[in-house]
Amino acid sequence: MFLVMRSLFGGYLESLKKPNYHSTGTTSCHGRSISRFSTASVAEELITPPVQITYTQNLINGQFVDAASGKNFPTYDPRTGEVIAHVAEGDAEDINRAVAAARKAFDEGPWPKMTAYERSRILLRFADLVEKNTEELAALESWNNGKPYEQAAQAELPMLARLFRYYAGWADKIHGLTVPADGDYHVQTLHEPIGVAGQIIPWNFPLLMFAWKVGPALACGNTVVLKTAEQTPLTALYAAKLFHEAGLPPGVLNIVSGFGPTAGAALASHMDVDKLAFTGSTDTGKIVLELAARSNLKPVTLELGGKSPFIVCEDADIDRAVELAHFALFFNQGQCCCAGSRTYVHERIYDEFIEKSKARATRRVVGDPFKKGVEQGPQIDAEQFDKVLRYIRSGIQSNATLECGGDRLGSKGYFIQPTVFSNVQDDMLIAKDEIFGPVQSILKFKDIDDVIRRANTTRYGLAAGVFTRSLDTANTLTRALRAGTIWVNCFDVFDAAIPFGGYKMSGIGREKGIYSLHNYLQVKAVVTPLKKAAWL
């Protein structure tokens, strides 16, 4: 498994480094050439994705079925804005049917009664099937989402398999404690599955978020009703088919595709859902939390937005810092909740950093995500595309300096030029709001106290990056910054065992690692009297 970002995304990054990115001109890809940061890479004939779309219905009780209403909705290719498939549009009735199937599978079915070892074996078989079907899953992910195929195939699919193997390893290691108590009593705690878990995943990393949610829930013995993002429903349905090939009993994993106000709201407010997990925007997270509270007060975990500071100190290796700051922001088209979207650079190296960041962004390869060597594909849809362009206009209007980019790329699809702003001030919208696009905002700071205060002046607290050669500086910053993950001289380091989640309005709870299991377990204390105990 790719252990850290240079391991999770390391193979992918190394493949992108093979061309000389410090030259001008073109890179040969599949026998053709693509121009860096130009419309040529977008205007070329697009590659036909090497996969057939087979699964477009909802999955309920082990069967692919049409929506109760009979309705479908289109899902699009963000390279062109054209429809690639029509998917069953689930609503409240489909959620009711899915929850009923999950409830029966939990109360009467074999999953929670199955030995933990057997559950583990099914998760492991699923991971094996993911590896056998990597090309199909990666192609679907890229086609429906717009992310580079190489990123999906070389980084995200290996991590998907690794995550499920990690949770498979936990399945038979979940246990309680024997607790000493005053008096003649035997006290033990049981860690029991919580029941039916409702889960809502986003569109930026559909397969990885599927794993972050489904993996720990199933390892703990729960059943699941998962709502996909309406923009990217295809890969979860394909993965669910593989899960049933691996031996997952009917009703244990149910998937409904649909929209937030209908299917999502019905799941969040359902009285027979025992636990809810949501990843998405902070504003939607508030609605989800309210619906859960107003129904049956189900516990909720939220992984929400971010505006993560990336702090480049005076002693940093500037070339490395520029490359890492570039990756921290532009990775996945900038559509990453923990993106290093506030780049704070010490005033003594600020001008040099700006020039090199501008040059790196200008060299970024933008184009058809199915072409070898492409670093950046299109934004997810027209709504996100328009939102990013509005923020770029806001940056210009607020007198930030537009160093490069600032417009769409090409005339078809949702491609945006890699954009860099300098002279950004903390009160500008581009420095405060989560843009979720390829827009780098670079701010200047004077000293450590200055940057700590400014970095923490945000409603978010998901992640932060620190780039320095000083251990003392690193220690000071990692303890002072109010964020759930601090990356030192690295960024986007993800591992199955590393917890992920935010402070403040970036969420509630943690995902991945041992902490994710806590979200899907109830703790029960069992007390029995002891008579003539040999010892206490």
Q: Provide the annotated active-site residues.
A: 303
Beta strands in 299-427 (DSSP E): 300-303, 309-312, 342-346, 401-404, 419-422
Q: Check if the beta carbon of residue 301 is closer than 8 Å to that of residue 285.
A: no
Rg (CA), the chain: 24
Task: Report CA 113 to chain centroid distance, whole Å.
Answer: 31
How many Å apart are CA 329 and CA 394, to the nearest integer? 18
* Residue 4 CB neighbours (<10 A): 15
How many Å apart are CA 108 and CA 103, to the nearest integer? 8
User: In this structure, what token pair is assigned to residue 469?
Assistant: 């050669």
How many Å apart are CA 121 and CA 426, to the nearest integer? 51
* Residue 192 CB neighbours (<10 A): 16
Give the CA distances from residue 310 to residues 205, 375, 416, in Å, rounded to whole numbers and listed in that order.
22, 21, 22
DSSP state of 532: S
Say how many CA atoms lie within 13 Å of 533 toward its Cβ: 9
Phi, psi of 335 (to 5 degrees): -95, 65
How many Å apart are CA 212 and CA 206, to the nearest integer? 10
Amino acid at site 473: T
Q: What is the maximum alpha-carbon separation in the chain?
A: 86
Q: Check if the beta carbon of residue 345 is closer than 8 Å to that of residue 442.
A: yes
What SS3 state is found at 79? coil
Q: Check if the beta carbon of residue 93 is closer than 8 Å to that of residue 68.
A: yes
Q: What share of the chain is helix, strand, coil (3-state, %, to 5)?
A: 40, 20, 40
* Residue 175 CB neighbours (<10 A): 10
Q: Which residues of 226-259 are buried (b: 16+ CB within 10 A; e: fewer)?
A: bbbbbbbbbbbbbbbbbbbebebbbbbbbbbbbe
User: In this structure, what token pair is assigned to residue 399?
Assistant: 């007198």
